[in-house]
Chain A
Amino acid sequence: MKELSLHILDIAENSVKAKATKIEIDITEDTAKNLLTIEIKDNGCGMSEEFLKKVKDPFSTTRTTRKVGMGLSLFEAAAQQCDGKLEISSKEGVGTEVSVTFALNHIDRAPLGDMAGTMQTLIGGSPDIDFIYRHKKDGQEFLFDTAQIRETLSGVPLDTPEVILWIGDFINEGINELN
């Protein structure tokens, strides 16, 4: 993947398929520690211990139509080539948490990319899920929570095109403020 935000979209789609009602995406850029951390946490159906053991194998998937599931293994490979790692924990009936680290300044680290585009895609595809996006950079923080947006919208669906576009611009501006 050309951007880390594409991996985030891909992994968060797993949370959507796990019937999560709340998905939290946390990004922390820490220049002093030279560390980029990405966490994706959901309250979906979770996985059995047995499936969790083999979940990073590209030939394991819950899909029945095909035998491959590349998402987590691609993300892990991206992290490993940047002195980082991917960890995943999950509990059936509780949810799943994926945590990925990168050396921030590693020459092979893909840029974070268009996080606003990723959030637009996720929210537009699942307007009823609560998404929380937290982006921290060296002590500064941008927080986006669909619960707040929903309150303002009083019943207008989040996937209304004009709303989705507003959300994209809003997140873009928030991230730009951090830089």
Chain B
Amino acid sequence: MKSLAELQAIRDRALNQVNLRKERADGTRIVVGMATCGIAAGARPVLNAFVREVEARKLTDVMVTQTGCIGMCRLEPIVEVYVPGQEKVTYVHMTEDKVSRIIAEHIINNRPVTEYTVGAETK
């Protein structure tokens, strides 16, 4: 059973990490479209998979956030990745299964997964 004591332990760990997290504003941002179109297409499990993966790999300078309708509803779920100093990368038709590869190749090793991007889709 999940207990508040467990949450307190998480708090204590997080408080020790505060200095690491300060840099988040300049870190990488992963933005998931979470309007009606995104939700209906399956954005919620994609978002939660990113949160799980970021936590599992302890990527303290990566932030997972949400936005509204990005304007290409037929390509939802859409995820935009902003790495500071680089051009935005837009992933389309996202699924939970694609998440770990994007984290490993793009977020960690800085090689966007071209085949999942909007560029590959609309060719």
Residues of A in contact with B (beta carbons under 8 Å apart):
1, 6, 9-10, 13, 17, 63, 65-66, 69-71, 74, 114, 117-118, 120-121, 124-125, 149, 152-156, 160-166, 168-170, 173
Contacts and interface: CB of A to CB of B under 8 A. Distances in A.
A164 B21 CA distance: 16
Contacts of B47: 121, 124
A95 to B, nearest CB: 21
B123 interface: no
Contact of A66 (B14, B34, B51, B69): B69
Interface of B: 1-2, 4, 6-8, 10-11, 13-15, 21, 34-37, 39-40, 44-45, 47-48, 51-52, 54-55, 64-66, 68-69, 71
B2 A9 contact: no
| Those 6 A-B pairs whose CB atoms lie nearest each other, nearest first | A161-B55, A170-B2, A125-B66, A156-B14, A71-B36, A156-B11
Q: Summarize B's interface: helix, strand, loop or mixed.
A: helix
Nearest to A149: B7
A102 to B, nearest CB: 18
Contact of A13 (B34, B40, B51): B34
